[in-house]
Structure 1
Amino acid sequence: MDFEYMDSYGISRRYVQNLAQMAKDAIITLLKDTGTCLSKSHYFNQICRQLQQYGTEHTTVKRQKVNIVQNHQYKGHIQTNKQEELIPRLVVATAADSLAEKALIANVIVTTDRDGDNLLFVAIIMRKTKLAMNLINLTTDYSQVRSVNKLRQTALHLAAITNNPIVSRRLVVAGAEIEMQDYNGNTALHIACIQGWAGVVRSLIQHVSYEETKQNSFKIPYVPIPQNFEIRNYDGSPCLMIAICKGYLDIADMLIDIDADINTFDMKTGMTCVHAVTELGLIHLVRYLLSKPNLKINAETYSGYTAMEIAFYRGYADVAALLKVSGANRPRPICIIENLDLEEDRTD
């Protein structure tokens, strides 16, 4: 007689293998049939329907030992009106303590479509937080939350884009790579600073505690938190400069409090934060920066201009006056600044 392994809930290993393979086959078949025009919502709903059809015929979700009847009919109680609850319920029914079984489910999670998006990505994109959390909890290695799609976006990028601090924090705890840059050179922190998502920023810069790591079924490598604030996107901008120029001062304060450099600069122009806000003529932001210690008020751009000179020649008299009373040097004639550049060029 062929005896199957049965877990404490009466679920056989062969059933788990069938479920994992079915879900994977469903995704692959779906991709072949629909191609790249498939919307993420339609993609997700199709998978749910196929899982639902299979699950109602072959599974139970009651957390108790049951007898598998000959016709394999479902014997528990399941609500199928909420698709976002379907996959987690099926997974709970099949996730015994065996790492092998969890690996089978994890294999389904990391299967990708033509855009490189997997089930976790889709759940985050569709703002299905409970589903995303369940999928993260079922991963068996930190590498599974570090995968990238064809836009070089990780799950962490997508959590930042959708303003989901709960999922972004869970990903950080699961070992997500916080310094990964997408196709624009943005880290998840860049995205949060661009959009002004203070909650997401907070989730990305707090150190992971030992208690939080107990959520994982695996060990995570050392991850420097917060990220290196000197990472620039492909526009040359660091996170702090983005937050200040957009007026998200609550985010700027959070970054400065954990030692982000107030004198950080744009790699394309050499502008510091005080140059950038002066260029925009935003006196309230200039005043904000002047209230911070260690600000280099007379720093020069790559072209040799100070913030005072930018304000003076742009005609921002109020900004120039504020810089003057704060100790900025008098503006030099443009010809002198340009000649200094020429002399430097000859020297090089």
Structure 2
Amino acid sequence: MARCRKEAAGWEGDEGQCDSGIESLRSLPGGRDAPAGVEPPVPAEEPPEEKRPGEEPPAEERLDSSYGSGALPEALPRLPPACGTEEPPPVAKGLSRRQLEALNFVSEDGDTLVHLAIIHCAPDVALFCIAHLPTEMLETQNDLFQTPLHLAVYLEQPVVVEALMRKGVNLGLQDRNGNTPLHLACEQQCLYCAQQLLQGTAEPPEHHQDLQLQNWQGLACLHISTLKGNIEMMSLLLQSGANIDVQEGTSGKTPLHLAVECCNRRAVQFLLLNGAYVDAQMYNGCTPLHLAVCHRDAAIASILSHSGADTLLRNMENETAQDLADGNDDLLALLPFDDLKISGKPVVCSELRAQQD
């Protein structure tokens, strides 16, 4: 069977253990508590199964969402058939009590049957569960705080993404790294999944995307797509209302700062053409031009200069871009020495020539 899990750095704990400390989930018989709003059914008593001659006891399998931990089973078991007539009427149409118990299964790692169906590339099982489970159960977060939607996006299963969105699941839930499903779509560069997530079909309205929401690294979706250099994803986010000058949470860099740091000339031009503020300052006062000069990138420094970048803005070290370019003739040629001041205000040469004329 083809493996559907992906290795994700930072998504596993020590020795493959992934314990987030959640105690809000209940496994149905006898484990943790089930999610709120889902009443655990009472399993029907069954006679013990007889061991066939020569049959070996089944080996224990670990089914969890920690990619790469444990062996994958060959296939998920089918839902059990309906029981006898003496069983109480099923709560959902066409489902027996035992089938409902299977649907409400929660593993020791907090994974529901929907999580496991997505991980093991069983979309039919996932879609069946989505159709019969309430929205609250579909928003269950496992021990890594991943919802089924996180996994469907990460493993690029757009059919499952669409089914979950039709049920109105919360799009803003964050995993243990602070990533929403849209963050993961940007990280995986899955444009189609991002388009689905940005369609705004989820209800209620408070579950719509917050495009400025940052993960625990301080990155919004536009920061991630800029770091990836994915112009199509950046364009999609901007069309959907992302703030082009959003500052990341650790140092205050805008997407333009990040594009300059990545020496991505195309991304720099794209952001400037779409209205990025050329003189945006980080928390330490550095502008994109400061960064371009520090990287000795004359091409990007030229683009910023021709876009109106102020060469006299000072950072917290009281340095201008000209100061940082000292000794580099290529950069100094791009930065005219317009450092004359009148009453403490800089006056550029063009203004002086206008006054002389």
Matched, 1:313 2:294: yes
Give the C-alpha shift of residue 305 in structure 1: 0.2
Matched, 1:282 2:313: no
Question: 8 Å contact 1:256–1:262 — kept in the other structure?
Answer: yes
Residues 21 and 224 of structure 1, relative CA distance in 2, 3 Å threshold: farther
Matched, 1:135 2:126: no
**Selected match of 2:110 from 106, 116, 120:** 116
Give, in whole Å, the separation in 2 of the partners of 1:306 and 1:147.
43
**Selected match of 1:153 from 127, 146, 154:** 146
Residues 147 and 333 of structure 1, relative CA distance in 2, 3 Å threshold: closer
Residues 110 and 18 of structure 1, relative CA distance in 2, 3 Å threshold: closer
Q: Paired residues, what number?
A: 263
Task: Tell me which residue corresponds to 2:304.
Answer: 323
Give, in whole Å, the separation in 1 of the partners of 2:200 and 2:301.
40
**Amino acid of the structure 2 residue aligned with 1:321:** S
Give the C-alpha shift of residue 175 in structure 1: 2.1
Flag structure 2 segments of 5+ consecutive residues without an equivalent.
1-40, 50-56, 321-357
Give, in whole Å, the separation in 1 of the partners of 2:132 and 2:289.
56
Give, in whole Å, the separation in 1 of the partners of 2:239 and 2:45.
49
Task: Tell me which residue corresponds to 1:234.
Answer: 216
**Amino acid of the structure 2 residue aligned with 1:150:** D
Give the C-alpha shift of residue 291 in structure 1: 1.0
Task: Tell me which residue corresponds to 1:7.
Answer: none
**Selected match of 1:296 from 244, 267, 277:** 277
Give the C-alpha shift of residue 245 in structure 1: 1.8
Question: 8 Å contact 1:270–1:300 — kept in the other structure?
Answer: yes
Flag structure 1 segments of 5+ consecutive residues without an equivalent.
1-16, 60-67, 69-94, 210-220, 339-348
TM-score (norm 1): 0.67
**Selected match of 1:174 from 167, 177, 199:** 167
Over the matched positions of the two proteins, sequence identity in percent amounts to: 24
Task: Tell me which residue corresponds to 2:236.
Answer: 254
Give, in whole Å, the separation in 1 of the partners of 2:254 and 2:189.
20
TM-score (norm 2): 0.65
Q: What is the correspondence of 1:1-348 to structure 2 with a 5 Å cutoff?
A: 33-34=60-61, 39=70, 41-42=72-73, 45=75, 48=77, 51=78, 55=81, 98=92, 101=95, 105-139=99-133, 141-208=134-201, 222-224=204-206, 226-293=208-275, 295-332=276-313, 335-337=317-319
Give the C-alpha shift of residue 106 in structure 1: 4.2
Residues 259 and 96 of structure 1, relative CA distance in 2, 3 Å threshold: same
**Amino acid of the structure 2 residue aligned with 1:151:** L
Per-residue CA distance 1:12-69 (angstroms, 9 max, x = gap): xxxxx899888xx9xxxx9995567984632x73x51xx47x64xx78xxxxxxxx9x
Question: 8 Å contact 2:62–2:71 — kept in the other structure?
Answer: no
**Amino acid of the structure 1 residue aligned with 2:235:** D
* CA RMSD of superposed structures (Å): 3.4
Give the C-alpha shift of residue 223 in structure 1: 3.7
Task: Tell me which residue corresponds to 1:6.
Answer: none
SS in 2 for 1:336: coil
Question: 8 Å contact 1:277–1:286 — kept in the other structure?
Answer: yes
**Amino acid of the structure 1 residue aligned with 2:310:** N
